[in-house]
């Protein structure tokens, strides 16, 4: 697993990520985030229904602010997964009624800050990799 497809942890739960080298930004698996925020047993269904609800209530098509990226699933295979950059993910989080929304936003800010520090000082990336194990 490379930095580009690293798994980040929020309160011990996995969030699949992808680093877009060209745009220099992180993309996060929306279903992973929905699962964390809602505790849903089926986050894909929750995400599907949430997109419908938001479109009816607000007239916004959440799928248009997402990208499909191939990510490794729990069965070890890669599947197209709805992913969002930080700005789009913030919009999605606003649509999820959850007490975890604010701590998750703070976590996102921390992930972004760490990436900026790594850009300024690439040695920090190596130090961080040595400190924390990467989970497959």
Q: Where are the domains of the chain?
A: 3-131
The CA distance from 44 to 35, in Å, is 8
The pLDDT of 3-20, averaged and rounded, is 75
Tokens of 122: 């690439």
- Weakest-pLDDT range from 41-45, 105-109, 114-118: 114-118
Are residues 7 and 111 in contact, defined by beta-carbon separation less than 8 angstroms?
no
Using one digit for the tens of pLDDT, what is the confidence trace for 63-111?
999 999 999 988 999 999 999 998 899 899 988 888 888 888 888 878 7
Does the pTM exceed 0.85?
A: no
pLDDT band at 5 (very low <50, low <70, confident <90, very high): low
The CA distance from 21 to 3, in Å, is 10
């Amino acid at each position: 697993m490379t930095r580009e497809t690293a798994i980040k942890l929020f309160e011990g739960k996995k969030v699949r990520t992808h680093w877009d080298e060209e745009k220099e930004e992180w993309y996060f698996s929306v279903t992973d985030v929905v699962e964390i925020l809602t505790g849903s047993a089926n986050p894909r269904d929750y995400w599907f229904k949430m997109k419908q609800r938001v479109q009816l209530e607000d007239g916004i098509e959440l799928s248009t602010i997402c990208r499909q990226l191939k990510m490794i699933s729990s069965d070890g295979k890669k599947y197209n997964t709805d992913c969002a950059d930080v700005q789009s993910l913030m919009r999605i989080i606003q649509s999820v009624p959850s007490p975890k929304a604010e701590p998750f936003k703070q976590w996102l800010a921390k992930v972004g800050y760490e990436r900026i520090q790594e850009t300024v000082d690439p040695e920090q990336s190596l130090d961080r990799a040595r400190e924390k194990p990467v989970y497959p």
